[in-house]
Amino acid sequence: MTFDEVRQIALAWRGVEEGTSYGTPALKVKGKVLARLREDGDTLVVKGVGPDERAWLIESAPDVYYVTDHYVGWPIVLVRLSAAHPDAVKNLLLRE
């Protein structure tokens, strides 16, 4: 999956708009970041994911979901887009 595919999915939803965050493409709702692309071009930073949900995601698909030390204290999960299934990313973003 690519960020362009994520963008196409998310922009079909009411209230989602394109923007930038930390100099990278982002998807926002009411000006707040829903998700953004990391500088590597393959990692989606998804906000609003609590520690229990993040742990479950990482345990269920460690090749897709992960977290770095930088994000441990934040409600964020990282998604490796090249390994992600479009439906899984869609469901993750829709759960908000």
Range of the domain at 82: 3-94
* Residue 96 confidence (pLDDT): 56
Kindly report, residue by residue over 52-61, the tens digit of the pLDDT: 999 999 999 9
Q: Is the pLDDT of residue 66 over 60?
A: yes
Q: What's the rounded Cα separation, in Å, for the pair 5 and 59? A: 25
Q: What's the rounded Cα separation, in Å, for the pair 50 and 41? A: 24
- The domain that holds 62 is classified in CATH as 3.90.1150.30
* Residue 12 confidence (pLDDT): 95
Whole-structure pTM value:
0.94
Q: Are 80 and 43 in contact (CB under 8 A)?
A: yes
Give the model's confidence band at 36: pLDDT under 50 very low, under 70 low, under 90 confident, else very high.
Answer: very high
Q: Are 48 and 96 in contact (CB under 8 A)?
A: yes
Q: How far is CA 8 from CA 25, 52, 75, 87, 93, in A?
A: 13, 29, 24, 13, 13
